[in-house]
DNA sequence: CGCACTGGGTCT
DNA sequence: AGACCCAGTGCG
């Protein structure tokens, strides 16, 4: 049994967030191909599931099942077209329940011939719900699940027999989207809504040696070879748009998207790719090629990445010697990796007052 | 020539 | 084995 309140506020089992709790339950403690994985969530978006798509696919190819119930609405942005497509492409059964009030539960788990496990949480199957929102979650072990008489199939069957307005989506319908269930889902990519106020934030990231090696390198040298990245935490999926682009060459699944990056310090506006290396080493990387050879950032300097809108970002390097360094660095509260890297978020309005510029 | 890929390393 | 860290290769 394990309880947590994310992000990294309180945990009885050294698990910082819901994403890692589901990692443990579904991937570490469950054998791919065995039984059925279950998801119930009122809200769902692409980045909520991006860590799991290769595993779901593998699990289903080996004979397992994935059953998903998500909320939908024609008037509210509950669950997205993109996550429904991704889950269907994994081979999952996807059910959309019309109207928010009917599904406000968030439960995750699995059933195998020998065990059933259950996570009950406030965290939705979304990027923020998985990591940065303050959400509680409890993982209930199979003995306790059995003792209380919980069974996933009973829960699903009872939900299906309530007479609710439920639409089962079909993978053969992805291109046409003729089923009315699709109209209960919103479009993450082509939507024009402004960011919520709580998403008008900047990421504060301490830079590692590999983050700045190519920035410091001279052109044409061996140290300048390869791609210039900032390595991020996969706990920051929610800071970026849906990572819906899959790799075209190569065999290891990656999920990425392009964002518009305004490199304030050098006056360059470029597209930058943010990539999750799902089948390689779980790297989560932000391409920052415009900084190559510029020498404007050194190890332990800060990158301040400001999200202006869905796809528009600004990047500022804050040197250790800059006056604003300490005021900004204190927002990088999440320790990640094993080399002292930290990241965190600060509201854009607070960035404005610290830097004395309008963001 | 830059960046999508590759595939290790290292610490927990 | 997970998750950042690092140093490239070779493709377009």
pLDDT digit string, tens, across residues A256-267: 999 999 999 999
Query: Using the CB atom, is residue A208 less than 7 Å from strand C?
Result: yes
| Nearest residue for C5, CA–C1' | A210
Q: How confident is the model at residue A14 (pLDDT cuts 50, 70, 90)?
A: confident
- The DSSP-derived string for A224-285 is G-S--EEEE-GGGGGGS----EEPSSSSS--EEEEEEEEETTTTEEEEEEEEE-TTTT--EE
Helix axes A53-61, A81-90, angle to 10 degrees: 30
Residue A353 has pLDDT above 90, yes or no: yes
| Nearest residue for B9, CA–C1' | A281
From the CA of A284 to the C1' of C9: give the distance in Å. 20
From the CA of A157 to the C1' of B7: give the distance in Å. 46
Q: How confident is the model at residue A102 (pLDDT cuts 50, 70, 90)?
A: confident
The neighbour count for residue A236, using CB atoms within 10 Å, is 23
The better pLDDT of the pair A324, A99 is held by A324
| Backbone torsions φ then ψ of A221, nearest 5 degrees | -80, 165
From the CA of A306 to the C1' of B3: give the distance in Å. 23
Mean pLDDT (whole number) for A208-227: 96
Query: Using the CB atom, is residue A13 less than 7 Å from strand C?
Result: no
Mean pLDDT score across all residues of chain A: 94
For the domain covering A197-355, report its CATH number.
2.40.330.30
CA distances from A201 to A16, A103, A209, A243, A359 (A): 21, 29, 25, 19, 10
CA distances from A50 to A76, A83, A285, A297, A339 (A): 22, 9, 14, 31, 26
Per domain, the residue ranges of chain A are 2-184, 197-355
From the CA of A137 to the C1' of C12: give the distance in Å. 46
From the CA of A288 to the C1' of B6: give the distance in Å. 19
pLDDT digit string, tens, across residues A326-341: 999 999 999 999 999 9
Q: How confident is the model at residue A308 (pLDDT cuts 50, 70, 90)?
A: very high
Using a pLDDT cut of 90, give the percent of chain A over it. 90
Reading the block at residue A47, the tokens are: 């980045």
Nucleotide nearest A214, CA–C1', reads C7
| Nearest residue for B10, CA–C1' | A338
Query: Using the CB atom, is residue A209 less than 7 Å from strand C?
Result: yes
- In whole angstroms, what is the distance from residue A317 CA to residue A124 CA? 33
Nucleotide nearest A247, CA–C1', reads B4
Nearest-CA neighbor of A49 among A89, A77, A9, A10? A89
Residue A100 has pLDDT above 70, yes or no: no
- The predicted pLDDT at position A329 comes to 96
Query: Using the CB atom, is residue A341 less than 7 Å from strand C?
Result: yes
- In whole angstroms, what is the distance from residue A354 CA to residue A225 CA? 36
Cα first-last separation, chain A: 45
Nearest-CA neighbor of A2 among A38, A33, A29, A37? A29
Q: How confident is the model at residue A297 (pLDDT cuts 50, 70, 90)?
A: very high
Q: Which residues partner with A33 through β-bridges?
A: none
From the CA of A1 to the C1' of C4: give the distance in Å. 28
- In whole angstroms, what is the distance from residue A278 CA to residue A292 CA? 25
Longest dimension (CA), chain A: 67
Mean pLDDT (whole number) for A42-53: 95
From the CA of A320 to the C1' of C4: give the distance in Å. 22
CA dihedral A161, A163, A166, A167 (to 10 degrees): 90
| Nearest residue for B5, CA–C1' | A250
Mean pLDDT (whole number) for A13-29: 93
Query: Using the CB atom, is residue A283 less than 7 Å from strand C?
Result: yes
From the CA of A249 to the C1' of C11: give the distance in Å. 9
pLDDT digit string, tens, across residues A125-155: 999 999 989 999 999 999 999 999 999 999 9
Nearest-CA neighbor of A228 among A181, A275, A260, A264? A275
- The predicted pLDDT at position A101 comes to 65
From the CA of A45 to the C1' of C1: give the distance in Å. 27
- The predicted pLDDT at position A348 comes to 96
Mean pLDDT (whole number) for A284-305: 97
Q: Which fold has domain A2-184?
A: Endonuclease; Chain A (3.30.870)
Residue A99 has pLDDT above 90, yes or no: no
- In whole angstroms, what is the distance from residue A202 CA to residue A336 CA? 18
Give chain C positions with protein CB within 7 A. 1-12
| Nearest residue for C9, CA–C1' | A226
CA distances from A70 to A187, A193, A198 (A): 15, 21, 23
A331 neighbors A341 (Cβ within 8 angstroms): no
Q: What is the CA radius of gyration of chain A?
A: 21
- In whole angstroms, what is the distance from residue A359 CA to residue A348 CA? 7
Nucleotide nearest A287, CA–C1', reads B3
């Amino acid at each position: 049994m394990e309880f947590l309140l994310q992000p990294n506020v309180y945990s009885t089992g050294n698990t910082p967030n819901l994403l890692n709790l589901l990692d443990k339950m579904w991937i570490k403690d469950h054998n791919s191909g065995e039984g059925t994985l279950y998801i119930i969530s009122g809200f769902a978006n692409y980045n909520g599931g991006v860590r799991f798509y290769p595993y779901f696919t593998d699990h289903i190819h080996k004979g397992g099942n994935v059953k998903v119930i998500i909320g939908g609405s024609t008037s509210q942005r509950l669950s997205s077209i993109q996550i429904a497509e991704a889950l269907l492409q994994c081979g999952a059964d996807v059910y959309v329940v019309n109207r928010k009030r009917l599904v406000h539960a968030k439960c995750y788990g699995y059933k195998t011939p020998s065990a059933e496990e259950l996570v009950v949480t406030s965290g939705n199957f979304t990027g923020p719900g998985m990591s940065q929102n303050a959400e509680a979650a409890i993982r209930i072990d199979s003995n306790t699940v059995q003792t209380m008489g919980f069974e996933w199939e009973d829960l699903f069957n009872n939900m299906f027999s309530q007479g609710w307005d439920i639409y089962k989506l079909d993978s053969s319908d992805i291109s046409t989207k003729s089923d009315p269930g699709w109209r209960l889902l919103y479009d993450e990519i082509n939507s024009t809504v402004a960011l919520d106020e709580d998403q008008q934030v900047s990421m504060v990231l301490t830079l590692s040696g590999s983050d700045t090696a190519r920035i410091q390198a001279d052109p044409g040298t061996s140290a300048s070879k390869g791609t210039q990245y900032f390595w991020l935490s996969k706990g920051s999926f929610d800071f970026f748009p849906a990572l819906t682009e899959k790799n075209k060459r190569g065999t290891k699944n990656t999920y990425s998207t392009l964002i518009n990056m305004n490199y304030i310090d050098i006056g360059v506006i470029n597209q930058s790719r943010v990539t999750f290396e799902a089948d390689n080493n779980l790297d989560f990387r932000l391409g920052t090629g415009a900084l190559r050879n510029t020498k404007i950032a050194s190890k332990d300097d800060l990158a301040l990445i400001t999200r202006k809108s869905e796809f528009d970002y600004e990047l500022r390097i804050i040197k250790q010697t800059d006056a604003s360094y300490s005021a900004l660095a204190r927002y990088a509260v999440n320790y990640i990796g094993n080399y002292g890297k930290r990241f965190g978020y600060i509201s854009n309005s607070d960035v404005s007052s610290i830097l004395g510029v309008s963001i």
